[in-house]
Amino acid sequence: MPDLFEKSCDSLPAREDMAPGAVLLRGRALVVEDGILAALGSVLAAAPFRHMTTPGGFVMSVAMTNCGEVGWVTDRSGYRYAVADPESGKAWPAMPESLRRLANEAAAEAGYAGFAPDSCLINRYLPEARLSLHQDRDERDFSQPIVSVSLGLPATFQFGGLKRADPVIKYRLQHGDIAVWGGPSRLYHHGVLTLKQGEHPKLGRQRINLTFRAAL
């Protein structure tokens, strides 16, 4: 039996358990889609996307920016959260209330009441971009979940285990889907396979991912 298998996209339930403590809420963001896109536009005007460099010197294929009290950054000195945008020297744009509310509500629906994100990492995938398996472990409090909102082109999301070599399950994430993981799966490895060519009616040839964290 292969280690990897993909969930069928036919007749998918609105709520799907990915692992202990991990839930996929299909289409959950669609009810506030217009508000999300408007809020995203204001953030990007203040802090445009950029391709960051890993500590190993590799330029990431995924472009990134942030909003909130702190933003996740990477460069030759390491991975970390920073209070200022290293490109402008200014504070990151404030997190729009509509985005904060969506993250809070999605977390509560997944069983994590009271989630108050202070950081939102915004990723832009163009076709051929990908994100290798990794853990979100730069935050101080692992009792708080991760809330991940998918917009634009569909992507294949990999969700594994505590060890990088653990088998992964692949999920097709579509526009409006929200994945939430915490508790026993908070440090599970996850990633995104190479984005395929396509055209989304509102976002064009790209996928946008909003990842909310309680970083401080």
* Per-residue pLDDT tens digits for 131-174: 999 999 999 999 999 999 999 999 999 999 999 999 999 999 99
Give the 3-state secondary structure of residue 76: coil
Closest CA to 101 of 36, 17, 38: 36
Higher local confidence (pLDDT), 177 or 10: 177
pLDDT score of 6 more than 50: no
Task: Check whether 10 has a pLDDT greater than 80.
Answer: no
pLDDT of residue 130: 98
208-211-212 Cα angle (round to 5): 140
pLDDT of residue 106: 98
**In the predicted model, what is the mean pLDDT of residues 3-20?**
67
Q: Where is 208: in which H helix or E strand?
A: strand 207-213
> How does residue 3 score in pLDDT terms, banded at 50, 70 and 90?
very low
Q: Which residue reads 């594994």 in tokens?
A: 160
Q: Which of 121, 131, 153, 104 is nearest to 40 (CA)?
A: 121
More confidently predicted of 9 and 62: 62
Give me the mean pLDDT over the 84-109 stretch.
Answer: 98
| Residue range 39-55: mean pLDDT, rounded | 98
Number of neighbours of residue 25 by Cβ within 10 angstroms: 20
| Token digits of residue 16 | 């799907």
Q: Would the pTM count as exceeding 0.75?
A: yes
Mean pLDDT of the chain: 95
Q: Is the pLDDT of residue 71 over 90?
A: yes
pLDDT in the model for residue 8: 39
**What percent of the chain has a predicted confidence (pLDDT) above 90?**
94
Which residue segment(s) compose the domain that 156 sits in?
5-213
CATH number at 18 reads 2.60.120.590
DSSP 193: P
Annotate 113-128 with DSSP letters as a single string: TT---SEEEEEEE-TT
Mean pLDDT over residues 28-54, rounded?
97
Give strand pairing partners of 72.
81
| 178 band by pLDDT with thresholds 50, 70 and 90 | very high
pLDDT at 2 over 60: no
User: How many domains is the chain partitioned into structurally?
Assistant: 1
Which residues are CB-neighbours of 150 under 8 A, at least 6 positions away?
29, 157, 173, 174, 175, 176, 177, 178, 179, 207, 208, 209
What local confidence, expressed as pLDDT, does residue 11 receive?
A: 56
Cα 132 to Cα 23, 142, 189, distances in angstroms: 21, 21, 9
pLDDT of 9 reads 47
